[in-house]
Structure 1
Amino acid sequence: MKKRFVAGLLGVALVAGLAVGCQKQETKEEGKESYEIGISQFAEHGSLDNCREGFLAGLKKEGIVEGENLTVQYKNGQADMGVVSQISDGFVSGKVDMVCAIATPSAQSAYNAAMDTDIPVVYTAVTDPVAAELSDADGNGVGEVTGTSDQLPVKEQLEMIREILPKAKTIGIMYTTSEANSVAAIEEYKELAPEFDFEIKEVGVNNTSEVALATETLLTGIDCVSNLTDNTVVASLPGILDKANAKNIPVFGSEIEQVKIGCLAAQGIDYIALGEQTGVMAAKILKGEEKASGIPFETISEPGFYVNLEVSKNLDIKISNELMDTAVESFESIEVK
């Protein structure tokens, strides 16, 4: 009798388990399966934070909502490649459904960790996916990896600088020598600068500890600075701005957040919009509508003009009415970080 009772319980449990399995299968078929995503962000600064915010908004737009059918593990590498590697390995060993990698070093690390698994990697804020070896020359992923590029509108940036500073000759740029996106951007600047009668003075750094000394070198013999989306340099941007302002040297940014905190102006992209675009791509992969390898990386086609009028006033630099008419957004104060 006791054995029969136990067997009966096992039978009930088995039926219940089958019911749960069927229910889960039905949920999956309806596109309502729950997901777990690991977000690996290389460093903490405004543009990358905006990418993360936009990414989650893009998923929500497609019905994948944190706290409902989405669990998110968020990890920040604090610009330390050792930490970034640990984050990637942890997500892969934890068998998340997808890794979202924000910025080139995180994207490269995540792909290397996941390449022998079935975990797709979706990246954002990668300036040059081809140079980063995440994509082939046609824009297709080298494996189950895809995402969005924040390729700098270098030509438009140079054109803007020439209009604002008609007498300028030399532009200084600081970059991290190990960041593939920054190296590619420097090469594009050097290639296009002669079209606008500019020379480029480049100063490379390996990490944030070198930025202070490199800034002193950078600010010698130049007319202005053009800042990239280089993660190491952006993390130190407030200090660079302080030293540049003391010498009355204008600093041009590469996106809206840099203009908010004290860069004079930028021809840049909206990182929330870029992140949202990435989230929509990720949703298609999670739902099984596309494979990451089947989606070429995407970019935002049109840059926007952003200007900080408080900075222009402090530097006594006039922004023409024609250029102001094109501004996506202007700021009347400097945001303190």
Structure 2
Amino acid sequence: MKKILLVLSLLLLVGCAKGEKGESASSGDDVLKIGILQFAQHPSLDNCREGLIEGLKEEGFVEGKNLKIDYQNAQADMGISAQIANSFVSNKVDMIIAIATPAAMSAYNATLNTDIPVVYTALSDPVAAQVADENKNPVGNITGTSDILPVEEQLKMIREILPDAKNIGILHTSSEANSDSMLKIYKDLAGKYNFKIVDEAINTTADIPLATDNILSKVDAITNLLDNTVVNSLPTILDKANEKKIPVFGSEIEQVKMGCLGSEGIEYISLGNQTGKMASKILKGEKEAKEMPYETILEPNLYLNSKVAENLGIKIPKDLLDRAVENFSEINLAEGK
């Protein structure tokens, strides 16, 4: 009888051990937590997020399986961006992925005294944002991908489409480091193509309508649109520009779909995918963020919208039409709403 009781006791102990082990496995100990901080809600940044999640998946990190994603959007508000980054740190995420320059700066500041790596994407100038040095090396436990525009190619394309244009307008947010950086590049290169850059600074989305009216009275076209606050208000800008028959040139494919005339830019799903693969190396322990130089997509793509050209009475040269990766024959403003 004593032997039977001993065997039963041993079986019970083994069963409890298995139960404890099973409970531990199901409690998510092997699941990595990442916080995704997106600065604003617009198609370019949404595509970045879609691409990076796909990039993570291709490398074996699948949401709901071995990855938990906490996605937060700052709605183009720097204060909210900082709050979200700090909450990720408080929740002890394994990584913060920051989409757009202000988000990257918020994440960097929030993680300075931690060992949480930050991976950014859609950051135009990592050096100006002070998260990398002139050699592309990180200045902390932070790395990622830059969406710096091919400015010279953009100016050359505008000149081909608008041979008589003189003044090119750029709306920009005074507090966005990426905007200041891109504006300087435009001003440095504009003279080469006989353009003068006319810029109008804003502070918040509420400033967009008046700033747009002001700049449209002085220019032959608007370009850039890499600024997150400005891109967030693209439908408003396009409405006002179309009324005055002034073309707007975008920075990537989604803006051309929405009604910009053309863009020499990058494709953000690909940029996000590239970012996801960089993040995967860190999550796998193959690399540390602080030893990974930031990356860029080197080859720009030409996107055109023939419907917009038709509405504005503009003829696009055949060589540009032939070179375009995509040429849209309609306007999809719903993409931006």
TM-score by length of 1: 0.92
Q: Does 1:270 align with 2:267?
A: yes
* Percent pairwise identity: 57
Alignment partner of 1:229 out of 226, 229, 236: 226
- The equivalent residue for 2:66 is 69
Alignment partner of 2:299 out of 302, 311, 325: 302
Q: Does 1:319 align with 2:325?
A: no
The 2-side partners of 1:145 and 1:13 are apart by 45
SS of structure 2 residue aligned to 1:174: strand
The 1-side partners of 2:94 and 2:109 are apart by 16
- Please list every run of at least 4 consecutive aligned residues from structure 1 whose deviation after the TM superposition is greater than 6 angstroms: 7-11, 20-24
The 1-side partners of 2:10 and 2:203 are apart by 67
Using the TM superposition, name which of 258-267 and 8-17 deviates more: 8-17
- The equivalent residue for 2:253 is 256
State the 1:228 CA deviation: 2.3
Cα 1:126–1:190 shift into 2, 3 Å: same
1:46-195 equivalent positions in 2, closer than 5 A: 46-195=43-192
State the 1:227 CA deviation: 3.0
CA-to-aligned-CA distance 1:107-157 (integer Å, 9 cap, x gap):
000111112111100000000000001111111111110000000110000
SS of structure 2 residue aligned to 1:251: coil
Q: How many residue pairs end up in the alignment?
A: 327
CA-to-aligned-CA distance 1:161-205 (integer Å, 9 cap, x gap):
000001111101000010000100000000000000100000000
The 1-side partners of 2:19 and 2:185 are apart by 59
The 1-side partners of 2:198 and 2:44 are apart by 25
Aligned-pair RMSD on alpha carbons? 2.3
TM-score by length of 2: 0.92
- The equivalent residue for 2:333 is 336
Gaps of 5+ in 1: none
SS of structure 2 residue aligned to 1:129: coil
| 8 Å contact from structure 1 (residues 255, 268) kept in 2 | yes
SS of structure 1 residue aligned to 2:274: helix
| 8 Å contact from structure 1 (residues 175, 205) kept in 2 | yes
The 2-side partners of 1:248 and 1:258 are apart by 17
| 8 Å contact from structure 1 (residues 171, 224) kept in 2 | yes
CA-to-aligned-CA distance 1:242-271 (integer Å, 9 cap, x gap):
111111101100111110110000001000
Return the letter of the residue paired with 2:227: D
The 1-side partners of 2:58 and 2:204 are apart by 37
State the 1:294 CA deviation: 1.0
Cα 1:115–1:325 shift into 2, 3 Å: same
